[in-house]
């Protein structure tokens, strides 16, 4: 894969998923800024429709973003682009993210075996502070 191949592939994957009629379409405004063979970095502006009554990003949306971006990171590899199914998703919430705030989301594959993949994600606020951290273990089906 060429040096910009992973980025092109991630943009294609995200655009395809965001156009779906399913849950993934909530990421239609996700801006992919970087990608390598096992890591994706994206930016997102917090919208009111994804917030709780305190006008901060809802924890469920945060968990979904971690699920989504770690899955996209798994799909970069053209030789083995299985998205897998979740075995475990764990999120630590460290700082609130407010409406209108630009956040950075990073998803990375730590290890990908025959049947299980281990991934991690970080969500950073505008200052670069860690707002949420997640781990996502996925069964790959073999």
The residue among 132, 43, 129 whose CA lies nearest residue 90 is 132
Q: What pTM was computed for the model?
A: 0.90
Task: Calculate mean pLDDT across residues 5-19.
Answer: 83
Of the CA atoms within 13 Å of residue 49, those in its CB half-sphere come to 3
Rounded Cα–Cα distance for residues 129 and 75 (Å): 27
Write out pLDDT tens, residues 94-142: 999 999 999 999 999 999 999 999 999 999 999 999 999 999 999 998 6
All structural domains of the chain, each given as residue ranges with its CATH number in brackets, are: 5-139 (3.10.129.10)
């Amino acid at each position: 894969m060429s040096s910009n191949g992973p980025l092109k592939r991630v943009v294609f994957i995200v655009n395809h998923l965001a156009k779906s009629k399913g849950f993934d379409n909530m990421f239609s405004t996700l801006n992919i800024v970087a990608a390598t063979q096992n890591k994706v970095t994206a930016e997102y502006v917090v919208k009111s429709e994804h917030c709780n009554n305190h006008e901060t990003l809802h924890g469920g949306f945060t968990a979904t973003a971690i699920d989504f971006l770690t899955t996209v990171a798994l799909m970069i590899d053209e030789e083995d682009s299985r998205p897998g199914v979740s075995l475990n998703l764990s999120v630590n919430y460290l700082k609130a993210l407010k409406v209108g705030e630009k956040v950075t989301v990073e998803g990375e594959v730590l290890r990908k075996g025959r049947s299980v993949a281990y991934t991690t994600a970080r969500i950073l606020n505008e200052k670069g502070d860690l707002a949420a951290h997640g781990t996502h273990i996925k069964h790959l089906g073999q």
